[in-house]
Structure 1
Amino acid sequence: MKKIEIFDPAMCCATGVCGPSIDPELIRMAAVVHNLQTKGYDIKRYNLANDPDSFANHTVISQLLMEKGPDILPITLVNGNVEKERVYLTNEELMNLTGLTEQELTLKPRIRLKK
């Protein structure tokens, strides 16, 4: 199984899906990451504002940031190698990496409310 790491730009919260104007791409990525984690995939997402040590301590990421600046974010690594810069992986790219269908990848999480 492949290890996927997503290094996000600085956002207000871990997923970036809060505030007055929510980026639909961030909602898609939050659902995808949740679904992959639920299925046991090794996927982690780091936010520059909340996890600066993860950026500083990762040789590849810190080097890219020093060379190209923060506009290079988001960066996605697969097994430690740069898979994509500046934009998130598409659903099709994630399907190719994981073998999942688009429906499995984008299933919206269901939350049960307790009475």
Structure 2
Amino acid sequence: MKKIELFEPAMCCPTGVCGPSVDETLLMITNSFEALQKVVDVDAKRHCLSDEPATFSKNPDVLNAIKKDGKDALPITIVDGKVVKVGEYPTQDELTQYTGVVFKNENADAVSK
């Protein structure tokens, strides 16, 4: 089973649809992770600093990155316990590389493996 975790900065809304404008990257991440959670052999989790600060402090790689670069280190993507991306959200192509799941469209309405 592939395990992918996304450690995100503090925010009021992880969907990207709150506030005066839509954050297309957060919308893609939200849709992609919702789709990944439906794949049986992928464990996909998002952690938000404002909701789960203890999760951040329990992960030495995340804690070290934040100590080194502050909030600029976030988001951090971890796959199978290894940091694979720091400071930016993964693209759908990267999510495919990390998990083996192919997204059928950018809204991640359907996936295949």
Give the secondary-structure state (helix, strand or coil) at the position aligned to 1:6: strand
In structure 2, distance between residues paired with 1:107 and 1:63: 32
Decide whether the 8 Å contact of 2:15 with 2:26 is kept in 1.
yes
Q: List alignment gaps of at least 5 residues for structure 2.
A: none
Matched position secondary structure for 2:50: coil
- Higher alpha-carbon deviation: 41-50 or 24-33: 41-50
What is aligned with 1:5? 5
Distance 1:101 1:63 in 2: 32
Q: How many residues align?
A: 109
User: TM-score under structure 1 normalisation?
Assistant: 0.84
Partner of 2:55: 54
Q: How many angstroms does 1:31 deviate by?
A: 0.3
Larger Rg: 1
TM-score for the superposition, normalised by structure 2: 0.85
Asked whether the equivalents of residues 35 and 104 of structure 1 are also in contact (C-alpha less than 8 Å), the reply is: no
Q: Hey, what's the Cα distance between the residues in 2 that align with 1:60 and 1:72?
A: 11
Paired AA for residue 13 in structure 1:
C
Structure having the larger proportion of residues in strand = 2
Which sections of structure 1, spanning at least 5 residues, go unmatched?
110-115
CA 1:50–1:15 in 2, change beyond 3 Å: closer, same or farther?
farther
For the structure 1 residues 31 and 53, does the alpha-carbon distance in structure 2 shift closer, same or farther, using more than 3 Å as the test? Answer: same
- Tell me if the contact between 2:56 and 2:63 (Cα under 8 Å) persists in the aligned partners: yes
Q: Tell me: CA distance 1:87–1:65, structure 2 relative to 1, closer, same or farther (3 Å).
A: same
Letter in 2 for 1:75: I
Q: Deviations over 1:56-86 (max 9, x none)?
A: 1211111111111111100000111110011
C-alpha RMSD of matched pairs (Å): 1.9
